[in-house]
């Protein structure tokens, strides 16, 4: 093998090495790009999931609060009706006491 063949062989090996290096850098860039895209998608999905979970928790809390409010309203309504009933029956007696008091004075 002559000197020119050795030099061509070395030159060819260098060109192959440069091509492999360029291909490896291109592949690394693709991997990094894909990883960034996937990371962005994961962050967006996590944000969406968090919003959905928060909405679900808030809806549950609203529903529970509404149920408690309805219970209080129902109990309060029954108490008001009871007070109104008692006051109506006692009103007659109070009016009669005032009338009797005025008559005897």
Q: For 33-53, write each residue's pLDDT tens digit.
A: 999 999 999 999 999 999 999
Structure token pair of residue 103: 């008559």
pLDDT number for residue 86: 80
Distance, CA of 11 to CA of 73 (rounded, Å): 92
Average pLDDT over the chain, rounded to whole? 91
pTM for the whole thing?
0.53
Block mean pLDDT (10 aa), the chain, length 105: 86 95 97 98 97 96 95 88 80 80 78
């Amino acid at each position: 093998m002559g000197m020119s063949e050795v030099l061509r062989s070395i030159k060819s090996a260098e060109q192959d090495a440069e091509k492999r290096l360029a291909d490896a850098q291109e592949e690394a860039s693709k991997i990094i790009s894909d990883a960034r895209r996937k990371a962005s998608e994961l962050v967006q999905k996590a944000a969406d999931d968090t919003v959905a979970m928060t909405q679900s928790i808030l809806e549950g809390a609203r529903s529970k609060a509404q149920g408690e409010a309805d219970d209080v309203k129902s109990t309060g309504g029954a108490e008001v009706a009871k007070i109104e009933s008692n006051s109506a029956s006692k009103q007659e007696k109070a009016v009669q006491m005032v009338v009797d008091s005025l008559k005897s004075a």
